[in-house]
Amino acid sequence: MTILQILVAARWVHFTALFALFGCPLSFLLTRGTGAAEAERIFRATNRLLQIAAVIAALSGVIWIAALIANMAGSFTDATTRDTLNAFFFETQFGPVVIARLILLAAALLAIALPRRIRFGVWLFIGAGLIIDQAWLGHATNGGAGLFGAAMIVIYAAHVLAGAAWVGGLPVLCLVLTRRDPARGPREIVIILSRYSVLATGAVTLIIASGIANALFRVQGHLARLVATDYGEILLVKLLLVGIMLAFAVYNRFIALPRLETARQTPVFTGLSRSIGVELALGVLVIGAAALLGVTPPPA
């Protein structure tokens, strides 16, 4: 694999893990107060998922940073020299950001040993910190040090946080549906899904608004510049995937959920779980497209 391919793959895996690290604890909060009999099983499964996400985030994050340095230095061999590392960490604008990122990744691993009552909250804030931190490692930094540059950073961070809230919370919904007691009615599950629907609606609204702003930033207000460019083609694929995701989300909210309110049959729960699983898989593909966009020069 080339350095660029490793860089894209590491970003894809890393961002996926970060989405889970932020979105799963946020989505798990929606189960509070429902009195769900399956709460302990859902907690254990979510905890295992977050432990795995923390480890993957740390490993892929280190690989991403190593590939980033190698891409700048020209090779992985050159990236390991003392002069290169010293220049990257202490003589570039990326250095302090990467150091902060490594500290947060170490904290995500250490959080595994924390008491269970605070573990999810710590992962939620660490995930948010890592998502915000990465805004200084991509195209959003091209706006400079003024107000315009600050707006680019804030809007990019809001875009990714909203995406993580939507996509990162879907695994917990799958756990809620698959770990339910078949003898119990759907009331508690409907409450959780309805709460998530409100969260997802707000997240999608923010994603669309911030996504439009990000695209305008990349082309300096001239959308025609996206035509016949690699950046524009990848962005189009990303938008198509998001559109399909939205179609599944609308189906789940306005068709599947109302059916669930009066259903006790296993096929109804299984069908909704599969639909959410497809929505999640599409979300992972969207993250991959975003990872590729991050290393593709924008038209402006």
Look at phi and psi of residue 245 and say left if phi exceeds 0, alpha if psi is from -120 to 50, else beta.
alpha
> Angle 258-263-266 (CA atoms, 0-180°, nearest 5)?
120
Residue 282's pLDDT is 96
Residue 161's pLDDT is 96
Domain region containing 230 = 3-293
Residue 143's pLDDT is 62
pTM: 0.92
Each of the 300 residues of the chain gets a pLDDT tens digit; together they read 799 999 999 999 999 999 999 999 999 998 887 666 667 788 889 999 999 999 999 999 999 999 999 988 888 888 889 999 999 999 888 899 999 999 999 999 999 999 988 999 999 999 999 999 988 887 666 666 677 778 888 999 999 999 999 999 999 999 888 876 665 667 788 888 899 999 999 999 999 999 888 888 777 656 666 777 888 889 899 999 999 999 999 988 888 888 777 765 556 677 888 899 999 999 999 999 999 998 888 776
Query: Does residue 298 lie in a domain region?
Result: no
Query: Does residue 299 lie in a domain region?
Result: no
Residue 217's pLDDT is 78
Residue 270's pLDDT is 74
Residue 114's pLDDT is 95
Per the listing, tokens 């009615």 go with: 185
Distances (CA, A) of 51 to 91, 100, 219: 34, 21, 39
Query: Does residue 58 lie in a domain region?
Result: yes
The CATH number of whichever domain residue 204 belongs to comes to: 1.20.1630
Half-sphere exposure of 204 (CA within 13 A, CB side): 17
Written in H, E and C, the secondary structure of 93-143 is: CHHHHHHHHHHHHHHHHHHHHCCHHHHHHHHHHHHHHHHHHHHHHCHHHHH
The overall average pLDDT reported for the chain is: 88
Residue 169's pLDDT is 95
Residue 177's pLDDT is 84
Total number of domains in the chain = 1
Query: Does residue 217 lie in a domain region?
Result: yes
- What sign results for the dihedral spanned by CA atoms 39, 43, 44, 48? positive
Residue 218's pLDDT is 74
Report the C-alpha gap between 57 and 50 in whole angstroms.
Answer: 10
Query: Does residue 286 lie in a domain region?
Result: yes
pLDDT digits (tens, 9 = 90+) for 181-239: 665 667 788 888 899 999 999 999 999 999 888 888 777 656 666 777 888 889 899 99
Residue 299's pLDDT is 75
Query: Does residue 16 lie in a domain region?
Result: yes
